[in-house]
Amino acid sequence: MRSLKIFTTLLLLAAFYTAQAAPSLIPSPPRLAATGYVLMDYHSGQVLASDNAEQHLEPASLTKLMTAYTVFHELKSGHIKLDDEVRISEKAWRMIGSKMFIEVGKYVTVEKLLKGMIIQSGNDASVALAEYVAGSEDAFVPLMNAHAENLGLSGTHFVNSTGLPHGEHYTTPIDMARLAAALIREFPEYYEWYSEEKYTFNSITQSNRNLLLFRDDSVDGLKTGHTEAAGYCLVASAMREGMRLITVVMGTESEKARAQESQKLLNYGFRFYETHQLYEANKPLKQMRIWKGELEQLPVGLADALFVTVPRGEYQALKASMRVGKTLVAPVSSGQSVGTVSIRLGDETLAERPLVALQEVAEGGLWQKLKDSALLLLE
């Protein structure tokens, strides 16, 4: 099987290349004029550069990534539809800051409001969507925080759907990177809106504030943010030759600076690193002996595809290892952890994942259990 061959090949080649391959020369990441930042590979989740990655910072309109994520979940669940018409409240109409210029009392579809929020960064659109989904913005915010908790965004807390300043409204650069990755992974059908350069509503055309969309063809998202307290922020993502990187830059001094600093991280990541898929999800890596069961061999593998990001030219130096329990006795459920797969580069562990049973094995009959009990005594 392809996954098993890859695993075996890594094990066989590791000793040869580790001894003979010269280490790649990777310069230190660029230092940015920003309060906090992160460069993360989308597929592997590895952080390639960071500063103050876990510091609580004001997100400004980066908040709208979670507003959109929450609305996308409601669309996916079937609770709302893109062509639903939303009556615009006075509160939404009166919102300060960036607007898509909706009008009180009129009806606007969910799809148009989403584009007004994503492309034009409309605070009015954000509130209108929050009110439609949950009845009020106050009722919508707990949904945002519940999604943040489910995604493991432990340094994030939302108070509103727009990102307007509040003492208890904060996030971290690493949380924003992980949120962006979840949004791209879970909602590819809506992600394309983040690459649109302009949007016209109510006869008013506004350009996307993400300057990288106009400068770098590989960039296809995501979101800008700005308040006096937060500074200028940008979450960006780019894809080159199958490798996707996500950058988060927070607390820069201008629109130009946030784009320039983000571009530095993207160029660094694509120039000096490469990402590889080592194993597919739910593909056998090994057959394990299982005792006292209906079957004697249990296929084991990974529940999710495994990617690693390495310095360019270092792929062949990877070492793969597998640790399994000495004795595996039925019953075993599908997905049950039976060991660990580790990927190392030199002294660094790049990835460690549970090795899981890929099928259920029930207890065998009385004769099988008696026979295996006797054989186990000889082990």
264-289 mean pLDDT:
96
pLDDT in tens, 321-353: 999 877 888 899 999 999 999 999 999 999 999
How does DSSP assign 80-145, residue by residue? S-TT-EEEPPHHHHT--SS-----TT-EEEHHHHHHHHHTT--HHHHHHHHHHHHSSHHHHHHHHH
Residues 176-221: tens digit of each pLDDT: 999 999 999 999 999 999 999 999 999 999 999 999 999 999 999 9
Asked whether the whole model's pTM tops 0.85, one would answer: yes
Beta bridge partners of 248: 38, 235
Query: Quick check: helix, strand or coil at residue 154?
Result: coil
Query: For position 21, what pLDDT does the model report?
Result: 45
User: How far apart (Å, rounded) are the C-alpha atoms in residues 300 and 312?
Assistant: 30
Whether pLDDT at 312 is above 90: yes
> What does the mean pLDDT of the chain come to?
92
121 is annotated as an active-site residue: yes
From residue 14, alpha-carbon distances to 26, 161, 184, 284 in Å are 21, 50, 34, 21
Q: Is 19 or 154 the better-scoring residue by pLDDT?
A: 154
- Of the candidates 64, 99, 112, 319, the residue annotated as catalytic is 64
- The one catalytic residue in 121, 126, 161, 237 is 121
Q: Is residue 64 annotated as part of the catalytic site, yes or no?
A: yes
Identify the structural domains of the chain with CATH numbers, from first to last: 2-21+280-378 (2.60.410.10), 36-275 (3.40.710.10)
Mean pLDDT of the 93-121 span = 97
Helix axis angle for 64-77 and 137-150, nearest 10°, is: 90
- The one catalytic residue in 3, 44, 50, 61 is 61
| Residue 262 known to be catalytic | no
More confident residue, 223 or 16: 223
pLDDT confidence bin for 80, thresholds 50/70/90: very high
* pLDDT band at residue 15 under the 50/70/90 scheme: very low
d(CA 364, CA 379): 19
